[in-house]
Chains A and B, each alone.
Chain A
Amino acid sequence: MSQTEAPARKGGLAAGPLAGPTAWLDDRVGLATIVKKNLRKVFPDHWSFLLGEIALYSFIILLLSGTFLSVWFKPSMAEIIYTGSYDPLYGIEMSEAYASTLDISFDVRGGLLMRQIHHWAAALFLAAMMVHMLRVFFTGAYRKPRELNWLVGLGLLQLGIIEGFAGYSLPDDLLSGTGLRIAEGLMRSIPIVGTYISFFVFGGEFPGNEFIPRLYVAHVLLVPGILLALITLHMVLLVYHKHTQWPGPGRTNNNVVGYPLLPVYAAKAGGFFFVVFGVTALMGALFQINPVWVFGPYNPSQVTAGSQPDFYMGWLDGALRIMPAWEFTILDWTFSMNVFIPGVALMGLLFTILGAYPFVEQWVTGDRRVHHLLQRPRNAPTRTAFGAAGITAYGLLWISGGNDIIATQFQLDFYWITRLLRVLVFVGPVLAFVATRRVCIGLQRKDAEVVVHGFETGIITRSPDGEYSERHLPLSPAEAWTLSAHDRTEPAGLPAASDHNGVAAPHGRVEQVRGRLSRFWVGHDHQKPTADEVREAHEHHADDDELEPAEQQFGGVNELGVPRRH
């Protein structure tokens, strides 16, 4: 840092050898070596890298607000008479869990705020994890060497969903009890052992008096403990691999360009934690969430119309709603596929696909190289199309979770909507796949066109011999590089199924399949232009009066036909 003439202050960090408490600490734990190695660690800058940070920060907010709530919450299903200050429920029999949630909301100052911060932060935690995961997926950030961190992230998302469901089930109000009733039904649907699982989990019949205390231990100790361990692993791997970066001038697969942890990232990331915390606190102040006092205590013979789970459970609820009534009995055993497939198997299917995807892609494309540069979604059209298909399926199931609300709000026929969704959930993803891949390939063509010929300016010139032509604005070298820094793709060649003696090649069948899949995967990609193509185009344009390359991004032309430059 800057060497000023001012005499180094005694004991100051910049004053040379360590002294005082820092020296005391370094004598014992060798702090300086760690500090030296890591405090100037470089992080690249991009808005999409903040999504994971939001997830991390909301987890910290959850730990803080959750600790506050645990001081007053009583995880007990013992029935008591409510005598707190919320008048409409005064004198009513309810569980201690529900009564203590009312106390937190009405009789502990700041309790309602903490409850609402906790619930909003939970929703934010799940939403941020999902969007972060989509970012990682669509940019190919999960590729080697980061496949393991993708799996760790997947584990975090699954645990987060369980943790969230456990959390909103704890207050033992009418809505959360209805959710647990459904969860118990899902357990029962597991073939052969379902009833036993339900009885072991609930300590007997539903609802019993064992479940809330058990759920509480899972919610405040077991699951957060595993979450914390996995988050630590996620961060350690992030630091070890160093962050991925977008291609750009000077950014290669072998370096990372950005700002140092100390001071810029410490200030930006640390400041961003306070921004996320501040936003959740304002949401807790301004937007009501889960007003348990409105629902009343759990009563297995009551329910409110329009019951909806938290948003991250909506797609499962939707799947349960549109599943046809498929149940059969074989040899005295009943198999409730109308519940098991959407309620249990679907979640398993989603996470299996997500977990397997990096390895399947690696096998099909044969790309086992190390990747630190991100891909623009358009440059991996098949992956982007798979992602779009997945989002479409998820979105349609999520919409199905509100089929009754859609029917009542839009005055539509409920049966018709449900039947339509049953079809759409299969057709929609296929359409999304085809359309997305076409759009991606179209965008690739556009990029290639722009790299070769530059931007269209809309400026038409007439040559002295009467020929009309449009002027092109060449890209700046930085832009041209950014648009063409990605790898080319090439489908794996089809190996011969047998050699010239007719002997079947080892793994011949598997390789044939791989070859075909690989053609499907990357065979339609539009490749970036070659250096020769660019050179030829420039020579061609040299005849026209080509415009000077834009220093900055091309911003269209103004009303006089002159290109705008930022």
Chain B
Amino acid sequence: MTDQRSPRPGNEDALPARPGSVPGTGEHSHDDGREPGREVEHHHGDPVADPGLHEHVPRPSDVDPALDKRAERLVATMFGLSALLTLAFCVAYFAIPEDAVVANTSAMNLALGGTLGLALLFIGFGAVHWARTLMDDHEIVELRHDAASPAEDRAEAVATIEQGNTESGFGRRPLIRNTLVASMGALGLPTVVLLRDLGPLPGSDPKTTVWANGVRVVEDPSGEPIRPEELTVGSLVNCEPGVFFETDEEGEPLYEGTELLNAKAKAAVIVVKMAPEEITPTEGREDWGVDGVLCFSKICPHLGCPISLWEQQTRNLICPCHQSTFDLADGGSVVFGPAKRPVPQLQLGVDDDGYLIALGDFADPVGPSFPEMYQD
């Protein structure tokens, strides 16, 4: 192929297109009398020749004054309608009661959005129609320039930089140059160091929850304690640690606000009751339930969504976010899906009043996996 980079043309004014002429062939006369200095475009191996620009075909509105007038009226009508709709928008803002409902939706929202949307559309349609029917529609040809600078500019630029280098001695005094580079580089450190207080170091926080020996397992959101015998086989109850509902000596809740949310994000559990013969407990966890009542973390070990879909028949628990499926009759093991670890189990017991309590914290990390998960 030929080198497609053309020499730089002499001027950058747009040239009116001429029907049948191939722009860039040097056919154009130039007001300043300069020759464009371009060669005839030659396409090696093109099967047919470039016929040049189409002849300009006048539009109906160019030749028929009635159509021209009609287009003008149409554009003006759209602009006028737009202004009226904008006024209607302002009227609706003050006139429509905020709680009015039309067609099951907010009347205010419908009126404001409808008037504003149509007002904007009419401006848009009007402007586009004006451009398409009434504005001059002769195509114009503009010549392209190389993106690259001309060779002499490049040479001059290099010389200028070289001059700066010589006058400053940047290249000649490596001691100054290197210490400057080092000092600038060092400034990167504070930008990192200053971010240290973005947050505390993780420590053991991701591994612990508020569950401890003796903490009651209570219903969410009522806070009612649970007697294992009151649960029916096959049922699932959303539960929380009882401490979320307790208060200190001054009557202030032990956990509130952000602290409560942080604790809840790890401590939410579900309690299920199954027929004891259905359960295949994990080895060493045979006594973690109470009469077929088992307790598992509600936080998915995949990405932390609350696992809430309970299939009573299969005793499967499904996460609604990424569909990891866990078999609660089999120690919470993964049946399907992207989760790797079983959903952590909480060891249950009964206190002196016959209510469900935890016998300690989770044995396995709760929530999404993290690198230090299995470190001591």
Contact = CB atoms under 8 A, between A and B. Distances in A.
Contacts of B371: 188, 190-195, 333-335
Interface in B117-139: 117-128, 130-132, 135-137, 139
Nearest to A205: B262
A299 B41 CA distance: 69
Contacts of A184: 304, 368
A326 B287 CA distance: 31
B47 to A, nearest CB: 4
A394 B200 CA distance: 38
A254 to B, nearest CB: 4
Given A267-B131, A275-B121, A533 B47 contact: yes
B131 A109 contact: no
Contacts of A477: 48-49, 51
Given A334-B369, A338-B338, A252 B23 contact: yes
A453 B339 CA distance: 62
A252 B50 contact: yes
A493 to B, nearest CB: 15
A241 B173 CA distance: 40
Given A42-B140, A205-B205, A281 B116 contact: yes
A452 B114 CA distance: 54
B268 A270 contact: no
B193 interface: no
Contacts of A279: 117, 121
B106 interface: yes
Most chain A CB inside 10 Å of its own CB: which residue of B137, B205, B338, B373:
B338
B48 A250 contact: no
Interface residues of B, number: 114
Contact of A257 (B4, B17, B298): B17
B6 interface: yes
A478 B51 contact: yes
A260 B24 contact: no
B227 interface: no
Contacts of A342: 338
B24 A267 contact: no
Given A79-B256, A339-B302, A531-B47, A323 B338 contact: yes
A264 to B, nearest CB: 5
Contacts of B131: 263-264, 267-268, 271
Contacts of A333: 371-372, 375
B264 A332 contact: no
Nearest to A110: B112
B176 interface: no
B136 A264 contact: yes
Contact of A185 (B52, B114, B126, B303): B303
Nearest to A280: B117
Interface string A265-305: 00110111111111111111110100000000011111111
Most chain B CB inside 10 Å of its own CB: which residue of A77, A106, A325:
A325
A481 B50 contact: yes
A440 B369 CA distance: 46
B-side binding surface: helix, strand, loop or mixed? loop
Most chain A CB inside 10 Å of its own CB: which residue of B130, B136, B148, B265:
B265
B359 to A, nearest CB: 21
B144 A256 contact: yes
Contacts of A182: 303-305, 321
A267 B139 contact: no
A298 B258 CA distance: 11
A42 B53 contact: no
Given A79-B256, A252-B22, A484-B48, A42 B121 contact: no
A480 B340 CA distance: 61
Interface string A368-410: 0111100000000000000000000000000000011000000
Give chain A's interface residue range (CB within 8 Å of chain B).
35 or more
B223 interface: no
A487 B45 CA distance: 9
A423 B137 CA distance: 54
A541 interface: no
B113 A332 contact: no
A227 B166 CA distance: 39
Interface string A479-497: 0110011011000000000
Contacts of B142: 41-42, 242, 255-257
A204 interface: yes
A414 B368 CA distance: 23
B306 interface: yes
A279 B264 CA distance: 43
A298 B305 CA distance: 12
B320 A257 contact: no
Contacts of A255: 23-24, 141-144
A307 interface: yes
A258 interface: yes
B305 A481 contact: no
A158 interface: no
Interface stretch (A207-215, A352-360, A426-434): A207-215
A169 B135 CA distance: 46
Contact of A113 (B45, B116, B199, B303): B116
A300 B261 contact: yes
A275 B200 CA distance: 50
B120 A277 contact: yes
Contacts of B268: 300-301
Given A282-B118, A370-B5, A372-B144, A327 B369 contact: yes
A415 B320 contact: no
Nearest to A115: B109
Contact of B238 (A181, A301, A528): A301
Contacts of A533: 47
A468 interface: no
B61 interface: no
A451 interface: yes
B308 A415 contact: no
B127 A267 contact: yes
Contacts of B21: 250
Contacts of B108: 109-110, 112
Given A241-B147, A278-B117, A303 B308 contact: yes
A254 B47 CA distance: 20
A484 B46 CA distance: 7
Contacts of B327: none
B54 interface: yes
B11 to A, nearest CB: 11
B35 to A, nearest CB: 16
Given A271-B127, A325-B340, A327-B340, A369 B4 contact: yes
A330 to B, nearest CB: 10
A254 B53 contact: no
Nearest to A302: B306
A538 to B, nearest CB: 10
Contacts of A224: none
A334 B374 contact: yes
Given A189-B368, A327-B341, A530 B45 contact: yes
30 contacts: A77-B258, A181-B305, A184-B304, A188-B368, A199-B201, A202-B199, A205-B262, A249-B54, A254-B144, A257-B17, A257-B53, A270-B127, A271-B125, A274-B127, A275-B121, A276-B124, A278-B116, A278-B117, A278-B120, A285-B112, A300-B299, A306-B320, A307-B305, A307-B321, A321-B323, A325-B324, A327-B340, A332-B375, A369-B5, A451-B47
Interface of A: 37, 40-42, 77-79, 85, 106-107, 109-110, 112-113, 116-117, 145, 178, 181-182, 184-186, 188-196, 198-210, 240-242, 249-250, 252-260, 263-264, 267-268, 270-286, 288, 298-307, 317, 320-327, 329, 332-336, 338-339, 342, 369-372, 403-404, 414-415, 418, 451-452, 477-478, 480-481, 484-485, 487-488, 528-531, 533-534
Given A250-B21, A302-B306, 12 more contacts: A106-B98, A204-B199, A255-B142, A271-B127, A275-B120, A278-B118, A278-B122, A286-B113, A327-B341, A334-B372, A369-B3, A371-B4
Which 6 A/B pairs are nearest by Cβ-Cβ distance? A285-B113, A271-B127, A274-B124, A278-B121, A250-B53, A301-B268
